[in-house]
Amino acid sequence: MQFRSYVTALALGAGLSVSSFSFAQVTGKVTLDGKAPEMKTIDMSGVKECADQHADPVTEETVVADDKGGLKNVVVSLKKEEGQEVPSDAPKSAAVLDQKGCQYVPHVVACMVGQEFDIRNDDPFLHNVHSLAQVNPVFNFAQPNKDPGKKTDSPKAEETYKVKCDVHPWMLAWVRVLDNPFFATTGDDGSYKIEGPKLADGEYTFVAWHEKYGDSEPQKVTVKDGKAEANFTFKESGAQANPIDTGVKLASDTTKTMHCPACEKKAADTKTAKAE
């Protein structure tokens, strides 16, 4: 992490050992108990520019688990209890949502209230980025070409919401906004690592969230010398029965491309301006 490297350099420059500085390091793994449902294949054949980006079939990312049940795309975070004080400065680096091969990367973005939030486009063609936030600033704009990063308004409150593309209806991402900097998203094997300012020794509550399985039971964790371990398990049978309908179409719903007239006009205007 850039922040950690910076502090390390300061320590060495001052003749101090790196061990003089302590960081929180909460680690663990999230596991799916049960067989992961088979994900639908996304049919991009109707949009050549998208299909050309992939040599192999692409599947939906609602549930992604390895052969040992390690569950990807789970956000694990500290849940502040009433009256509890923890370091609360937002991360200095921006949270980033990218678009690659007509998919949002990552599928789940965790960020903090007040943190910068950038939207990138790695595809050399049009995307529309439309957030479905209810309490945070809504963004809905076109990115006609590659874009190294467009800043959006920083989130103002805790919320979990979807982001969709009005041009490619299968594109879907989740954003989970938290009120403290102690969070991380699980990787391919279901593991995670939360790093940040040191937490004082004591008992803290951590929770895990997954788009299909919802919130886990809160777990009490004892932190000592800034370190702790918290593992979570979701039961496949515990999937939420009635997810909120936000109008996002998955591959299992449709393969027809939706159109965004305003986006297409902006893209056409951009091309005309470049030609001139």
Q: How far is CA 173 from CA 7, 28, 51, in A?
A: 33, 24, 19
- Residue spans of the domains in the chain: they are 2-275
Contact 187, 72 (CB under 8 A): yes
pLDDT tens string 190-219: 999 999 898 999 999 999 999 999 999 999
Residue 267 CB: number of other CB atoms within 10 A? 20
The confidence score (pLDDT) of residue 24 equals 74
Residue pointed to by tokens 């999937």: 239
Written as six digits, the tokens of 104 are 């949002």
End-to-end CA distance of the chain: 44
The confidence score (pLDDT) of residue 265 equals 52
Q: How far is CA 142 from CA 89, 90, 127, 132, 275, in A?
A: 31, 28, 6, 15, 19
pLDDT per residue rounded down to tens, the chain (276 residues): 444 443 444 444 444 433 334 577 999 999 999 999 999 999 999 999 999 999 999 999 999 999 999 999 999 999 999 999 999 999 999 999 999 999 999 999 999 999 999 999 999 999 999 999 999 999 999 999 999 999 999 999 999 999 999 999 999 999 999 999 999 999 999 999 999 898 999 999 999 999 999 999 999 999 999 999 999 999 998 777 545 444 444 444 433 333 444 444 544 554 455 455
The confidence score (pLDDT) of residue 261 equals 45
The confidence score (pLDDT) of residue 41 equals 97
Per the document, the length of the chain is 276
Side chain identity at 208, as an amino acid letter? A
Which three-class secondary structure state does DSSP give residue 196?
Answer: strand
The confidence score (pLDDT) of residue 268 equals 52
Which three-class secondary structure state does DSSP give residue 79?
Answer: strand
CB-based contacts of 32, cutoff 8 Å, min separation 6: 63, 65, 69, 70, 71, 190, 233, 234, 235, 236
Pick the CATH number of 2-275 from 3.40.50.720, 3.40.50.10490, 2.60.40.420, 3.40.640.10: 2.60.40.420
Contact 53, 145 (CB under 8 A): no
Contact 160, 138 (CB under 8 A): no
272: left (phi over 0), alpha (psi -120 to 50) or beta: alpha
Helix/strand/coil percent split, the chain, to 5? 15, 40, 50
Contact 234, 71 (CB under 8 A): yes
